[in-house]
Structure 1
Amino acid sequence: MKTLFFSAKPYEKQFFNHHNTHHNLELEYLDTHLGPHIVNAVDENTFAVCVFVNDRLTPEVIEALAAKGVKVIALRCAGFNNVHLDTARQQGIRVCRVPAYSPEAVAEHAVAMLLTLNRKTHKAYNRVREQNFSLNGLLGFNLYGKTVGVIGTGKIGRAFARIMLGFGCKVLAYDLYPDEGLAQLGVTYAPFETVLQQADILSLHCPLTPDNRYLISENTLGMMKKGVTIINTSRGGLINTKDAIEALKTGKIAYLGIDVYEQEEKLFFHDLSGAIIEDDMIQRLMSFPNVLVTGHQAFLTNEALAQIADTTLSSIAAFAAGETPAADRILV
């Protein structure tokens, strides 16, 4: 029985091949994303397909996979907004994910983006390489004493909040299910609107759902302080890019750091250095000196990739053996 990987990158393959020594599964890798255009590449020997954040498992695709005899859709990520779960359930396909993989990896990347924007280390690096040691234009601000709003306090949000407490920040948080441990550490839970109104820095750590798409839009931006810093390492669809651009132009947003983008599917994880990018919004974003864009790399650490590979392969092996993986890994 074969597991067919889509959107597979070289840095992933080495981890999956290494951890497969414990499972002896048949692994095959494709670098293209899964969608209607490529579903015929799945043959009848495929037991599982392993997918990532930009693979599109629409009802049409899932029905085609079921017709080929695929039994498992394994997400090597935590988010599952790209999978039509009801269709998978109707077709009898099991769906599993990696519920947590080194949450510190993503949280630390969010902090790295925040510090880079604030202290302009990326600009200083380029200047010094050109023998320019001027400090003009590199003025930052202290994180100490600032109010940091954290939207979503799951494992990643908790890790980020703890780091911000270590910087001496006042941390406000919003989550449907407050974490008592964070509250004991000094995090204050507040209504969503209150967090937006009081935060100097806002960091998003919630999954993307139909209910919170464009969580950050013209309406919610209007509630924020002028000069707010926004960091998004969660899902691109949480921010209305068009509204964010307008807020950057007026100074409502002073700094924006995004590791995700609502139209990233055709951009991220690809080398487009020799291509013409037709996406005007990402081009406009990258034209701002106070915007930092990274290509969905927050998860990219040795520890996270090792955990992703181990969890994903052990779940597939369990299904193949007629067993059930841990409950928090199973979506269908």
Structure 2
Amino acid sequence: MKIAFFSAKEYDKTFFNLANKQFGFEIQYHETHLGPHIVDLIKDVQAVCVFVNDKLTREVIEALSKKGVKIIALRCAGFNNVDLEAAKEFGITVCRVPSYSPEAVAEHAVAMLLTINRKTHKAYNRVREQNFSLDGLLGYNLNGKTVGVIGTGKIGHAFIKIMLGFGCKVLAYDVFPDDSLISNGVDYVTLEELLRQSDIISLHCPLTKENHYLINNKTLALMQNGVTLINTSRGGLINTEDIISALKSKKLAALCIDVYEQEEHLFFKDLSMEIIDDDKIQRLMSFPNVLLTAHQAFFTQEALTEIAQVTLDSISKLDKNCMEEHSKIILA
């Protein structure tokens, strides 16, 4: 089987080439993202492997179908960038990596929280310039704080375990409560209660049509003044204009984001010599109480190893199923 990879970076090649020794697929790597501009270059490929910022619209999926593509493999957990109805209509199977070291993302969320709170990034720069003053570096204890977690799947679960270890009170909201978390003292409450009572709020839910812009002027108004908000899930969960207003009014004490709603134009690229014309992200980066990383939360050795293994294993199993179905048709 031939697989075309899109949005492929050097680290993708490293981990997938290593995992592919077990499978022996023929892999083509493309640094560009998958979209209408690139579909015509796909030839004799049975599967495409894509990442979070590849856009698999109906137009793209129809074109892939005409090219003979049978499998779309997402090397990520989220699937909001794929038109699943179109994939079903055109007979293309979609697979993803539902769990790849959830601790990687959870630990990054915690690292961002600790950094923005204790201002270690600012302290690091100060000391390098021989400035040993503590002025402006005051933080607070996490112990005893109320942490609200929206989404208690595997990543949310891992984040909650860490917060409980810090001695935090944890409130949770999810349509499917986790009994093991309840037994460990986590209180499931309504979304409104969570927003009102939490000192820190962390988002760990997938992006859907229903929760797009979950964080907006209305939900921000429910939060107490001085809340810290963390998002390591999907950028579309937050309305950027509304969050900027909340920062300007000091409704938010701090914002930590590893994702951004327009990140496909920015993230995973070196733009250090470019002029960025995205005024919203420029405004966000101008706030001293905003910590922004470029979709880095997944980026650990363990996670990348798991992503490569699970993705290729899924493709292998789907390929065998396709061959079996084809054999049945021939025999019939």
Instruction: Give TM-score scaled by structure 2 length.
Output: 0.96
Q: Is 2:220 aligned against 1:224?
A: no
Match runs of 1:49-198 below 5 Å: 49-198=48-197
1:227-279 deviation digits (Å, cap 9, x = unpaired): 00000000000000000000000110000000000010110000000000000
Q: 1-side partners of 2:203 and 2:181: how far apart?
A: 17
Q: Structure 1: which amino acid aligns with 2:300?
A: T
Q: Structure 1: which amino acid aligns with 2:227?
A: V
1:296-322 deviation digits (Å, cap 9, x = unpaired): 010000000000000000111112222
Match of 2:298 in 1: 299
Match of 2:318 in 1: 319
Match of 1:3 in 2: 3
Secondary structure of the 1:46 match is: coil
Secondary structure of the 1:50 match is: strand
Match of 2:326 in 1: none
Match of 2:46 in 1: 47
List, as ranges, runs of 4+ consecutive aligned residues in structure 1 with deviation greater than 2 Å: none
Q: Is 2:34 aligned against 1:34?
A: yes
Match of 2:18 in 1: 18
1:179-221 deviation digits (Å, cap 9, x = unpaired): 0000111111000000000000000000000000000000000
Q: Structure 1: which amino acid aligns with 2:148?
A: G
Match runs of 1:236-275 below 5 Å: 236-275=235-274
Q: 2-side partners of 1:41 and 1:214: how far apart?
A: 35
Match of 2:330 in 1: none
Q: Structure 1: which amino acid aligns with 2:77?
A: A
Q: 2-side partners of 1:32 and 1:126: how far apart?
A: 35
Secondary structure of the 1:13 match is: helix
Q: Which has the higher contact order (CA 8 A, sep 6+)?
A: 1
Q: 1-side partners of 2:42 and 2:198: how far apart?
A: 48
Measure how far apart 1:40 and its partner are: 1.1
Q: Structure 2: which amino acid aligns with 1:4?
A: A
Q: 2-side partners of 1:122 and 1:29: how far apart?
A: 35
Q: Structure 2: which amino acid aligns with 1:13?
A: K
Q: Structure 2: which amino acid aligns with 1:17?
A: N
Q: 2-side partners of 1:277 and 1:38: how far apart?
A: 24
Secondary structure of the 1:81 match is: coil
1:138-187 deviation digits (Å, cap 9, x = unpaired): 00010000000000000000000110000000000000010000011111
1:82-115 deviation digits (Å, cap 9, x = unpaired): 0000000000001000010000000000000000
**Structure 1 regions of 5+ residues with no counterpart?**
325-332
Q: 2-side partners of 1:318 and 1:180: how far apart?
A: 32
**Structure 2 regions of 5+ residues with no counterpart?**
324-332
Q: Structure 2: which amino acid aligns with 1:186?
A: G
Q: Structure 2: which amino acid aligns with 1:9?
A: K
Q: Structure 2: which amino acid aligns with 1:136?
A: D
Q: Identity over the aligned pairs, expressed in percent?
A: 69
Q: 1-side partners of 2:32 and 2:63: how far apart?
A: 17
Q: 1-side partners of 2:189 and 2:322: how far apart?
A: 42
Measure how far apart 1:323 and its partner are: 6.5
Q: 2-side partners of 1:127 and 1:111: how far apart?
A: 23
Q: 2-side partners of 1:265 and 1:143: how far apart?
A: 33
Q: 1-side partners of 2:42 and 2:157: how far apart?
A: 39
Secondary structure of the 1:122 match is: helix
Q: 2-side partners of 1:96 and 1:83: how far apart?
A: 11
Secondary structure of the 2:130 match is: coil
Secondary structure of the 1:310 match is: helix
Q: Structure 2: which amino acid aligns with 1:160?
A: F
Deviates most, 33-42 or 45-54: 33-42
Q: 2-side partners of 1:243 and 1:230: how far apart?
A: 13
**How many residues are treated as equivalent by the alignment?**
323
Instruction: Give TM-score scaled by structure 1 length.
Output: 0.96
